[in-house]
Chains A and B, each alone.
Chain A
Amino acid sequence: KNEVEQSPQNLTAQEGEFITINCSYSVGISALHWLQQHPGGGIVSLFMLSSGKKKHGRLIATINIQEKHSSLHITASHPRDSAVYICAVRIGNQFYFGTGTSLTVIP
């Protein structure tokens, strides 16, 4: 049983397209993180959400606590957005991670 489910697993988009990545979790959480991992391993925390919506540049993250669902949107996608995006939640004293969405943006 996975506490965190992410979709899609893989995503290919043309430059300029609007992209949505989804994350669902099974129980109540204290916070949800969206992470970005580029080839080579380094991870960057994009957003931390406990409610509502956050925006940073072309990235938007939303969370619906009642439905236990979060989305990460990328507007006007660019090849440099190509990376793996990972959803992470804290349930109790544990962190749980989605399997990641591998995004490729083609010029």
Chain B
Amino acid sequence: KAGVTQTPRYLIKTRGQQVTLSCSPISGHRSVSWYQQTPGQGLQFLFEYFSETQRNKGNFPGRFSGRQFSNSRSEMNVSTLELGDSALYLCASSEGPGGSGNTIYFGEGSWLTVV
């Protein structure tokens, strides 16, 4: 069974631009969650989707958004990029909503550099 796939793996963007990251969960998994990891703040929860509905959202500004499609694939978008958005963005999937007794499986992440 293929793991969680994230694309692109690496990208460089300019301040003010927007970026879209993609995540394909493990087949059969309906829950997808997104995280940001920076050296200063560590891992932080962005949002969680289950069956195309956003269930939870972390403490991030509205520039960070996401969605989930009917095939459970998910995208996250960051608009008006700032230098501080440079980070590793990780996606994880699980069979059911996270925290409800389901193991979560992480992708390799997308490294975003904003210049």
Contacts and interface: CB of A to CB of B under 8 A. Distances in A.
Interface of A: 30-31, 33, 35, 40-45, 48, 50, 86, 88, 90, 93-100
A45 B92 CA distance: 10
Contact of B109 (A33, A42, A86): A42
Given A90-B98, A95-B99, A41 B108 contact: yes
Given A41-B109, A43-B106, A94-B58, A99 B42 contact: yes
B105 A45 contact: yes
A10 to B, nearest CB: 14
A40 B99 CA distance: 26
Interface of B: 33, 35, 37, 42-45, 48, 55-56, 58, 88, 90, 92, 98-109, 111
Contact of A95 (B33, B105, B106, B111): B33
B43 A42 contact: no
Given A95-B45, A100-B42, A44 B101 contact: no
B56 A93 contact: yes
B94 to A, nearest CB: 9
A9 to B, nearest CB: 11
A3 to B, nearest CB: 11
Given A31-B99, A41-B109, A97 B43 contact: yes
A33 B56 contact: no
Given A95-B33, A97-B43, A41 B99 contact: no
